[in-house]
Structure 1
Amino acid sequence: MTVTEQSVPQTAPGAPGPARAARDHLWMHFARMGAYQDRPAPVIVKGEGAHVWDDRGHKVLDGLSGLFVVQAGHGRAELAEVMAKQAETLAFFPVWGYATEPAVQLAERVASYAPGDLNRVFFTTGGGEAVESAWKVAKQYFKLTGKPMKHKVISRATAYHGTPQGALAITGLPAMKQAFEPLTPGGFRVPNTNIYRAERMGAPTDPVAFGAWAAARIEEAILFEGPETVAAVVLEPVQNSGGCFVPPPGYFQRVREICDRHDVLLVSDEVICGFGRHGTMFACEKFGYQPDIITCAKGMSSGYGPIGAMIASDRIMEPFLEGKNFFPHGYTFGGHPVSAAVSLANLDIFEREGLNQNVLDNEQALGDTLRRLLDLDIVGDVRGDGYFWAVELVKDKATKETFDLAERETLIKQFLPGALFRNGLYARPDDRGEPVIQVAPALTTGQAEFDEMEQVLRATLTEAMRLV
């Protein structure tokens, strides 16, 4: 059977089973729930290595690591055993003025991986909470150090930083915010680093000049708002939303200088980029800059337990150690013992199996494999780094013309998600910026999985060209 002939077996809308229960009771995230009144949602029941299966036995390559999460792959029995053992010993206790052994050991381990003096680890249960925590600690830090006006945050257009009210205010996606406005005040946007669209932004197309231009926009925003009011700049090493915008040469070094000049904290949002996605524990290492705070989550446990963290420098922690000062913020399940224990075991796998090195050894091959798709008329750009890549889709390759709203609805929302899954690949069609398909395979994968991804993408995009 060819890749285009495969299909996902469908359950009749009224049929019993998990698909019907999902339709009637499960409120899925970021999903058009009305769509599942007439057709069943895929129900994923098993994962092994780089593949998952649905409840009808359809095997699919997980080309997105779940959601940029399952770094070590699915079905790791040793991780399940660690979780069971920890749950038997101590299933839960909060870190609200108390410590548990797994939380202490994981904080020490994560601090050992973090660059410079980022030695203080504040646990959350996910990435949005980590970003929320970073903004709150930045505000309070400046209040404690005599600069109470500093509260604003600069982030980039199209960037996604989470769904809590504060993190959403940092997010640069207006459509995601409209239903919940007014949000936490203080979020301001600057241009992102999508060099493929540099001309449209009125920016230079030379990579070094483009990096200098993009960094200058950050300083311009700080000066416009007033340095005495700006607390932080929040940036992903490689921006996710919009499709894997890699930093131009020298960009982060200039941003670091700008932040130092105006006493602004640099927050590296590594919820996706951290824990091996780019071949280092934290991507700021790879791109050569020292942040004041790192936010992280996802790959810390490879998804085997919900966990995230804000990692702060000793300088940030210092005023919180004085007298009766404290950070009035926390989460019931932050640093959960089971999640912390499985994260430690996951990081053991990183070191034992050399997952970071595997990414460094194979990132070029992954990029080269995906670039084969550039021979398709619908593919305008292939970009990324490490195991984090995007294929941008265009209507006209020569002019870089993109699809209009109706065409995006047909292509991104209606056709591609089902067609990719049907053809054997779970990836992410997205049009929060320009239309793209993102892939981010498990860090254990190699050329065989890269070829599998490329074949499904090619077959599906060939179908898409006939459609649009």
Structure 2
Amino acid sequence: MTASAPARPSSPADHLWMHFTRMSAYAGQPVPTIERGEGCHIWDTDGKRYLDALSGLFVVQAGHGREELAQAAAAQARKLAFFPVWSYAHPTAIELADRLAAAAPGDLNKVFFSTGGGEAVETAWKVAKQYFRLTGRPGKYKVISRAIAYHGTTQGALSITGVPPFKAPFEPLVPGSVRVPNTNFYRAPEFVAGDEKAFGRWAADQVEQAILMEGADTVAAVFVEPVQNAGGCFPPPPGYFERLRQICDAHDVLLVSDEVICAYGRLGTMFGAQKFGYQPDIITSAKGLTSGYSPLGAAIISDRIFEPFATGETTFAHGYTFGGHPVSCAVALANLDIFESEDLLGNVLRREVDFRTTLNRLLDLPIVGDVRGDGFFFGIEMVKDKATKETFTAAESERILRGFVSPALFERGLYCRADDRGDTVVQVAPPLISDQAVFDEIESVLRSVFTDAWAML
């Protein structure tokens, strides 16, 4: 008999197709594999500890290893593991919808559950389209969003997304999406550089120009994040959202606040719109709603927009099998209990200045051009020349960001995001339970890696 060759050890890359991953990178090396978490830290299968400076993926607000969230999931699964909210209801979905409506600003009182953020965005666009059909304006179907903004990967949400490389492989996409400038003040046009208020007015006015160019009778909604994620945490300039609300009202266009990242305490308020004082017509949310212990998203919709759906034989022919899942809703309720009992929103508001101040120390490095963001959500932009703000070429970003910075951060015990969807940035968004010790650890590792990256240049 011929002895068979010994089987090689299984690798996650053998069968697992990882999301947003260059799979060839793992052809000859192991995949980083995380097996447990506690508080603000995670451990890999070799027992090495890392600081989770991205909250998983802007998700784990209450921190890892929360026994009360696991218990809430188990208790609900024993009682009712699954039932849909298609023409029926169950108690946890009802209770969570009531709680979100009470927390949301203004008349946002109707909650449509999904399993994630992209689905919530998809829901919002479809609501907007049907709303205008029901109110006699079927030509209003287009959406305006901002350059480099990420809104999801489903065909509709991807159409709204403003990151060209993500869209190109899947085109043609859903028609009717239009792009306007974002609020990156670091790279503001020369004629408004140095004046945040003027820049904010200019950036908002570009939305109105797009509405007029497309024709107000064709535009249904504007989708914006309170702090734009892709490109590296762009906060709104003073007056931006006030002006945007005026523009939407003037042209009968819905204002959708995409808060998949910015809701549930990331900025120190339950919803990002509350941090910046504007009233959306719809909020899309997910991620921090359950602190990631179970998948759940929600589109929270105003009474005014819901009204024509509540009459006659009208149906919103849209839904998700696992949207409003009983276990996920139970976990969300327990998660919101933690928010209250441990004052997680207050922790962010009390410490956000300290977090910003700690990260601002990095500005003494020649490779750090800008530190920006809000709450516990910041981006650090890397540049070749601070005086001119010259950014990296594609080849340099490949070599420096992907080839060194990203793996070096992880090797030195920091899990965060190194990204070049816009300019070259590193993003940090630690759990809402974080304190100064966490901030100092983030800054220390970033300083070490940035210093070595500069030496490579």
Question: For the superposition of Structure 1 and Structure 2, which TM-score range results when normalised by the shorter chain?
Answer: over 0.9
Identify the residue that residue 69 of structure 1 maps to in structure 2.
59
Counterpart of 2:24 (choices 18, 30, 34) is: 34
Aligned-pair CA distance for 1:345: 0.0
CA distance in 2, matches of 1:309, 1:155: 20
Matched, 1:23 2:13: yes
Identify the residue that residue 268 of structure 1 maps to in structure 2.
257
The answer to whether the 8 Å contact 2:146/2:182 transfers is yes
Pairs aligned (count): 451
Please list, as runs of the form range in 1=range in 2, the aligned pairs for 1:361-440 lying within 5 A after superposition.
361-440=350-429
Aligned-pair CA distance for 1:205: 2.9
Matched, 1:341 2:330: yes
Aligned-pair CA distance for 1:411: 1.7
The percentage of counterpart residues that share the same residue type is 65
Counterpart of 1:94 (choices 84, 87, 102) is: 84
Letter in 2 for 1:216: D
Identify the residue that residue 154 of structure 2 maps to in structure 1.
164
Identify the residue that residue 3 of structure 2 maps to in structure 1.
none
Please list, as runs of the form range in 1=range in 2, the aligned pairs for 1:216-255 lying within 5 A after superposition.
216-255=205-244
Aligned-pair CA distance for 1:466: 1.6
SS of residue matched to 2:11:
helix
Letter in 2 for 1:158: I
CA distance in 1, matches of 2:133, 2:13: 48
Aligned-pair CA distance for 1:414: 2.0
Aligned-pair CA distance for 1:21: 3.0
Matched, 1:283 2:269: no
Identify the residue that residue 293 of structure 2 maps to in structure 1.
304
CA distance in 1, matches of 2:254, 2:400: 40
The answer to whether the 8 Å contact 1:377/1:396 transfers is yes
Name the stretch that deviates more: 409-418 or 134-143. 409-418
Identify the residue that residue 167 of structure 2 maps to in structure 1.
177
Identify the residue that residue 133 of structure 1 maps to in structure 2.
123
Identify the residue that residue 33 of structure 2 maps to in structure 1.
43
CA distance in 2, matches of 1:221, 1:117: 28
Letter in 1 for 2:218: T
SS of residue matched to 2:256:
strand
The answer to whether the 8 Å contact 1:133/1:310 transfers is yes
The answer to whether the 8 Å contact 2:11/2:31 transfers is no
Aligned-pair CA distance for 1:448: 0.3
The answer to whether the 8 Å contact 1:170/1:187 transfers is yes
Letter in 2 for 1:333: F
Query: For residues 305-331 of structure 1, what are the alpha-carbon distances to aligned partners after superposition, in whole Å with 9 as ceiling and x for unaligned?
Result: 000010000001100011000100000
Letter in 1 for 2:329: A
Letter in 2 for 1:81: Q
Identify the residue that residue 248 of structure 2 maps to in structure 1.
259
Unaligned 5+ segments in structure 1 are 1-13
Query: For residues 417-437 of structure 1, what are the alpha-carbon distances to aligned partners after superposition, in whole Å with 9 as ceiling and x for unaligned?
Result: 211011010010000000000
The answer to whether the 8 Å contact 1:199/1:205 transfers is no
Q: TM-score, normalised by structure 1?
A: 0.95
Name the stretch that deviates more: 413-422 or 296-305. 413-422
Identify the residue that residue 349 of structure 2 maps to in structure 1.
360
Aligned-pair CA distance for 1:204: 4.0
The answer to whether the 8 Å contact 2:267/2:348 transfers is yes
CA distance in 1, matches of 2:434, 2:93: 30
Counterpart of 1:451 (choices 440, 444, 449) is: 440
CA distance in 2, matches of 1:313, 1:198: 33
CA distance in 1, matches of 2:101, 2:194: 38
Aligned-pair CA distance for 1:410: 1.0
SS of residue matched to 1:331:
coil
The answer to whether the 8 Å contact 1:211/1:251 transfers is yes
Counterpart of 1:106 (choices 89, 96, 115) is: 96
The answer to whether the 8 Å contact 1:193/1:214 transfers is yes
CA distance in 2, matches of 1:204, 1:416: 30
Identify the residue that residue 178 of structure 2 maps to in structure 1.
188
Q: TM-score, normalised by structure 2?
A: 0.98
The answer to whether the 8 Å contact 2:156/2:174 transfers is yes
Identify the residue that residue 4 of structure 1 maps to in structure 2.
none
The answer to whether the 8 Å contact 1:128/1:164 transfers is yes
Query: For residues 225-275 of structure 1, what are the alpha-carbon distances to aligned partners after superposition, in whole Å with 9 as ceiling and x for unaligned?
Result: 000000000000000000010100000000000000000000000000000
Letter in 1 for 2:107: D
Query: For residues 358-416 of structure 1, what are the alpha-carbon distances to aligned partners after superposition, in whole Å with 9 as ceiling and x for unaligned?
Result: 00000000000000001111000001100000000000011000000100011222212
Identify the residue that residue 321 of structure 1 maps to in structure 2.
310
Please list, as runs of the form range in 1=range in 2, the aligned pairs for 1:140-155 lying within 5 A after superposition.
140-155=130-145
CA distance in 2, matches of 1:146, 1:375: 58
RMSD of the TM alignment (CA)? 0.9
The answer to whether the 8 Å contact 1:275/1:282 transfers is yes
Unaligned 5+ segments in structure 2 are 1-6
Query: For residues 192-233 of structure 1, what are the alpha-carbon distances to aligned partners after superposition, in whole Å with 9 as ceiling and x for unaligned?
Result: 000100136x54430110100001100000000000000000
Identify the residue that residue 4 of structure 2 maps to in structure 1.
none
The answer to whether the 8 Å contact 2:80/2:326 transfers is yes
Aligned-pair CA distance for 1:15: 5.4
CA distance in 2, matches of 1:341, 1:411: 44
CA distance in 2, matches of 1:311, 1:15: 50
The answer to whether the 8 Å contact 1:204/1:213 transfers is no
The answer to whether the 8 Å contact 2:61/2:431 transfers is yes
The answer to whether the 8 Å contact 1:113/1:281 transfers is yes
CA distance in 2, matches of 1:171, 1:432: 12
Letter in 2 for 1:88: R
Aligned-pair CA distance for 1:463: 1.3
CA distance in 2, matches of 1:282, 1:199: 30
Identify the residue that residue 115 of structure 1 maps to in structure 2.
105
Runs (4+) of structure 1 exceeding 2 A deviation are 202-205
Give the direction of change, closer, same or farther, for the CA distance of 1:173–1:203 in structure 2 (3 Å limit).
farther
